Amino acid sequence: MSIQLTHQYLDLGQAFSRPVLPESFPEPKLLLWNTDLADELAISVTASERAQVFSGQLLASGSRPVAMAYSGHQFGQFNPQLGDGRAHLLGEHESANGQLVDIHLKGSGRTPFSRNGDGKCGIRPAVREYLMSEAMHALGVPTCRTLAVVSTGETVFREQPVPGAVVTRTAESHIRVGTFEHFAARNQPAELSTLVDFCISRHDFDTPESGPEKYLRFFSQVIDKQIKLLINWMRVGFIHGVMNTDNCLISGHTIDYGPCAMLGVYDPQTVYSSIDHQGRYAFGNQPAITHWNLARLAECLLPLIADDQDQAVHLIMPYIEGFSDRYNQAYRQMMAHKLGFNTADEEVSSCADELLKLMHANQMDYTHTMTALLDPDKDKSLSALNAWLSSWQQLLHKWNINKEHSVQQMKANNPLVIPRNHHVERILKQVEENGDLNELKTFLKVLKSPYQTSKHISQYQDLPTDQDQNYQTYCGT
């Protein structure tokens, strides 16, 4: 077995985590193994050991499993005591390029943070996490990735009995805004300072060694990472569904694929999550919620920036207030690239805004419409855009943009295939009900190259017949 783990997070101190072993399972069986990721991370585990190691039954050398402590704002309401209720951080592994990566089990049993939960995971949400995280990675969206899915051989009881499974998630770290909130709520500035130092070291933040500027620069770089993540979500039409502060990683990577979905018909108010009754986490609200989450992080950092709270607020407010301009500039640039432009001036941004208004008014599919623009004469679904198409093409001509360059720009930013909700649910149902992984593996091959035409791609590009009108997603706990 070529996997050697360290326990740096455990070493931060008792306040940060609770030592706890994964539960025993009757018959662990490997369902999915991510060969590409294993090679990238230089993880070599024999076929016979994989089910045991990645269900927590056999610990790798150096592993000292813990459940991580954190708090969080859930749908705007603060919960001071969350933590890993069904997950175990096995330790950190050094990848082939020297980067430390968390090896983290999900669905591996009860922990001190489980409250009334059983700490388990059903096979459907486990496979969903594998499928969606790999799709997002291929789309170029920063994300945690899944190394393995192991069935446990036991039944998990949710709305109905379902097979149990354990997911092995890898991440640059699992530090959340909610981790900072945990210590801020308990008035523990020493632990907050330790957490900042850990993040700076782990994620290569460029900050001074001390003083207020250290924390301001740290915060500014967290903003950059969140904007990059958010822009990519908006680019491909991803709806997270549960943007609580405990699901907001400092590293700027996507985490928690329970209630997530992909946008079909363009509507900024689209919500698929069954628990988001007020539309707080709708597609078009994601920028405002990211801003809100960052403001919660800023509040945690105040005692580190200055002893006087008013002075600390004065120093950090320009960063909070500057978020919208930073995001809007990045968003305009992203939309310009989707439409074949190199940069975004007012005319280009107005052109993009008008397209989105027309798509909304005419109930047009977000992904399909963008890819149809590559050859607009061939697609009848664009008939409602005739006047806009003329002005768009005139603007490209005005910018003197080479057609081939424009097409390549659009191809690089508009996926030909996404994990459409109706295909995801149909395939997950096959896995849950009869253990059939064949179509899942075909789907994963297609999703691996979302910007290129490939074998079988056409069977996953069709639009849902009901436009996802009654579609709902669930948290999977």
User: Is 326 within any annotated ligand binding site?
Assistant: no
User: Is 197 within any annotated ligand binding site?
Assistant: no
In 3D space, the residue among 203, 244, 238, 240 whose CA is nearest the CA of residue 224 turns out to be: 203
> Whose structure tokens read 């002893």?
307
Q: Is 6 left (phi over 0), alpha (psi -120 to 50) or beta?
A: beta
- Give the C-alpha separation, 68 to 17, whole Å: 4
- Give the C-alpha separation, 84 to 347, whole Å: 48
- Give the C-alpha separation, 129 to 106, whole Å: 10
- Give the C-alpha separation, 258 to 473, whole Å: 7
User: Is 85 within any annotated ligand binding site?
Assistant: yes
- Give the C-alpha separation, 186 to 24, whole Å: 34
User: Is 176 within any annotated ligand binding site?
Assistant: yes
292, 226 contact by CB (below 8 A):
no
181, 71 contact by CB (below 8 A):
yes
Q: 2: burial class by Cβ within 10 Å (0-12, 13-18, 19+)?
A: exposed
112 SS3 class: coil
User: Is 106 within any annotated ligand binding site?
Assistant: yes
CA distances from 73 to 23, 180, 324 (A): 29, 12, 21
Q: What are phi and psi of 6, to 5 degrees?
A: -105, 175
* Catalytic annotation, pick one of 246, 276, 365, 468: 246
Distance of CA 422 to the CA centre of its chain: 20
User: Is 56 within any annotated ligand binding site?
Assistant: no
DSSP 335: H
In 3D space, the residue among 199, 235, 230 whose CA is nearest the CA of residue 215 turns out to be: 199
What does the DSSP assignment read for 47-95? HHHHHHHTTTSSPPBT---EEEP--EEETTEEES----SSEEEEEEEE-
| 453: number of Cβ within 10 Å | 9
User: Is 398 within any annotated ligand binding site?
Assistant: no
User: Is 362 within any annotated ligand binding site?
Assistant: no
In 3D space, the residue among 205, 213, 297 whose CA is nearest the CA of residue 248 turns out to be: 297
Q: Can you point out the beta strands (E) in 62-192?
A: 66-68, 72-74, 77-79, 87-94, 100-106, 145-157, 161-171
Give catalytic status of residue 353 as yes or no. no
- Give the C-alpha separation, 26 to 472, whole Å: 32
Please enumerate, by residue number, every residue annotated as part of a binding site. 83, 85-86, 106, 118-119, 169, 176, 247, 256
Residue stretches of the annotated binding site for Mg(2+) = 247, 256
Binding positions for ATP: 83, 85-86, 106, 118-119, 169, 176, 256
Which residues are catalytically annotated?
246
